[in-house]
Structures are given as C-alpha cells and as structure tokens.
Amino acid sequence: METAYTFVPSPNHIYPDHPERPGRLDTLKPKLDSYDAEQLDAKPASHDEIGLVHDPKFVSTLEKVCREEAPAVIDYAPTYVTKTSFEDALLAAGGVLTCSRAVLNGDAKNAFAIVRPPGHHAEPDKAMGFCIFNNVAIAARDALTHGLDRVMVLDYDAHHGNGTQAAFLNDERVGFLSAHQWGIYPGTGWITDAPHAKKRVVNVPLPAYAGDTVYEQVADQIFKPFVESFKPQMIFISVGFDAHWNDPITMLGLSSNGYSTLANKVVALAEKYCDGKIVFVLEGGYDPVNVANGTDGAFEALTKSKYGNEANDPNPYREPDCESRIEEIRKWHGLS
Ligand SMILES: [Zn+2]
C-alpha cells in the first residue's frame, strides 16, 4: 500500500448553526474513491491512548457531560458536545492513530486522516475551540512509544495550534511549528511564546491576507531549515483549510493552488529527511469546496497522481509583505 486514509465524518456530532459541522466534508466525500489511496477502517482510540496526552479526570468528566448533559456548549469558542460526541472523538483520535501506525509499521508510505471533530486546540486538561481530543498530539506521542525518538508536527491551520503546543511544551522529542493568523482565536502563538524551546517550538504569526507568496516563503525559509535542524523521523501535518481566502471565519489569503504548493513542499521535506513518513491530519476549514480542493492537492502530493483538480481561485486581496516578520522568526530561532 502506498497511501492510506481514514474517514471519520461523525454525522451526529452536530449543533445548530455551528461552522464545525458534518457538511464540511460533503463536497469531499464523493471524491474519496477517486484517489489512488486505500481506505483503512478507523478503530476508536482507547482510554490509555487518549491518556498519552490528556488528563484522565478531563476524559471522565467529558464522558459524563456527553452522557448526562448533551447537547451542551462546553466552552466559549463555542465548543459543543452531543450524546455521541465522546464516541465520535474517540473514533477521530483513533482514525489518526490508524493512519500513523500504518505508516510506522511500513504498511503505508504516507497517509491522510480525514477526521472530525478536529483536535489542535484541545489542551491536556480541556476541550477547546471546536476540538475535543488533540488527535494529532495523541498520534505523535504514540509514535514515540513505538520506537521513534523525534517527531514533528507542522500546523498550518489558520488558527494557532495552542493545544498541541501545550502538550509538547516540555517534550524535547517533539518539534512543533504553527503558522497562523495573528490576533484571532485563541490569541496565543506569538514568536516569543516559548523562549525555553527555541528551534523546537516555532510560532509563525501572520497578518491578515497573507497568502500563497507568504506561505511559500514561510515553507522555504522556516519549515525547511526547521526540519533540517530538528531531524524528525516522522512528520505530522495539522492541516486546516481555513487559511483559504474565502473561509467564512478567518482572514488569511491562501488559494487552493497555494495549498497544493504547501502539500508538495512538506511531502518533499518528509521524503528528504524522514524516509517519506508523513501523516496529514484534518483540523479546520469551514467551506466544503475549499476542504475538497485542499484535500485533492494533499492527495496529489502524497500519491504523485493528478486528480483533475481544476480549482482556480486566486486570492483577490493584496498580500502583505512579510519578509521582515520571517527574518525576525528565523533570527529568534537561529535558523539558517
Ligand atoms: Zn482553524
């Protein structure tokens, strides 16, 4: 098997008028069969696996809230739960583990875990920002219990991956990078957030409308030297398609073509530095067409095939010049 994927749409994890809804995957779903990739059955994560990142007290409280109080809103983002959300979240986390283990044990070359609810805002002791369990963090730590010494999470969802940062703030085996819009939810992710972890916890806060040109510079001038210096044995991508210019809840400027370029660049980095071991994990992205187009681009990069992605949706806004910001970040971390 070359490329594997899991699909966990969680149709019953739904709340009236909430952007993190099953319909996000509606345009993508009929295309899945056309990818040159094998679908694996997602297996729910066990409590022990969730416990690789999360406090057992938080997990049992969350289970109780889902059973007894749902439907309910559990934080101000707002993050919601339904009667099925606990099982849905276990399956989402398990869907990522299924992919990462297939890559780890050599059954697949690379993989994409298309799951919801998303995970990167969930901190060890709390659900947050539409996220219940931190799917990518659980899989990254699981990889470390299966023989790897160094893994990396690159997060280019539009929002700061605060939960993943919190999980790995003091874990020297994990490199973490988040590129995100500065000044929006959750408010964290400035360059100097983790002064004790230079060259290991890297934040790339970007101004509104930063798009294809800026992200290409970020990939070449920050992702690349970061991977070169950290030397991960496996890379996880927290990919959110909400950095697209017409996402309804953010103001960044990537196009579908820009997402494809990024996917190609991170896959090439994995091929050069970690034997091709890379797992994409879906985070946000609230326009179903952007999610489908972005996923097309990711599968094209993973499988080296073309799927007739004709998306032509250039950013209509003028991009800000981010060269001095990028230089400031490179300098802070001593990347060269
Ligand atoms: Zn997001």
Confidence of residue 237 (pLDDT cuts 50, 70, 90): very high
Active-site residue (options: 13, 54, 120, 121): 121
- CA 178 – ligand 1 centroid, Å: 11
- CA 200 – ligand 1 centroid, Å: 22
- CA 128 – ligand 1 centroid, Å: 12
**Residue entry with tokens 């966990």:** 8
- CA 106 – ligand 1 centroid, Å: 31
- Supply the pLDDT for residue 128: 97
Q: Mean pLDDT throughout 252-271? A: 98
pLDDT at 225 over 80: yes
Q: Is the pTM of this model over 0.95?
A: yes
- Supply the pLDDT for residue 318: 95
pLDDT tens digits for 165-206?
999 999 999 999 999 999 999 999 999 999 999 999 999 999
Q: Mean pLDDT throughout 216-241? A: 98
- CA 294 – ligand 1 centroid, Å: 14
Confidence of residue 1 (pLDDT cuts 50, 70, 90): low
pLDDT tens digits for 298-329?
999 999 999 876 789 999 999 999 999 999 99
Q: Mean pLDDT throughout 106-132? A: 98
Q: For this structure, is 120 an active site residue?
A: no
pLDDT at 162 over 90: yes
For residue 56, cis peptide bond before it (omega within 30 degrees of 0): no
Q: Mean pLDDT throughout 45-61? A: 98
Q: Is 166 helix (H, G, I), strand (E, B) or coil?
A: helix
For residue 78, cis peptide bond before it (omega within 30 degrees of 0): yes
- Supply the pLDDT for residue 307: 85
CA distances from 11 to 19, 25, 280 (A): 14, 10, 21
Confidence of residue 3 (pLDDT cuts 50, 70, 90): very high
- CA 86 – ligand 1 centroid, Å: 21
- Supply the pLDDT for residue 220: 98
- Supply the pLDDT for residue 114: 98
- CA 43 – ligand 1 centroid, Å: 25
By CB neighbour count within 10 A (0-12 exposed, 13-18 middle, 19+ buried), where does 249 fall? middle
pLDDT tens digits for 140-153?
999 999 999 999 99
Look over the chain and give the mean of its residue pLDDT values, rounded to a whole number: 97
The share of the chain scoring above pLDDT 90, in percent, equals 97
* Token pair recorded at residue 171: 């874990």
pLDDT at 241 over 70: yes
Q: Where are the alpha helices (DSSP H) in 38-128?
A: 47-50, 56-68, 85-104
- CA 1 – ligand 1 centroid, Å: 31
**Angle at the Cα of 92 from the Cα atoms of 78 and 40, rounded to 5 degrees:** 155
- 42's enclosing H/E stretch is none
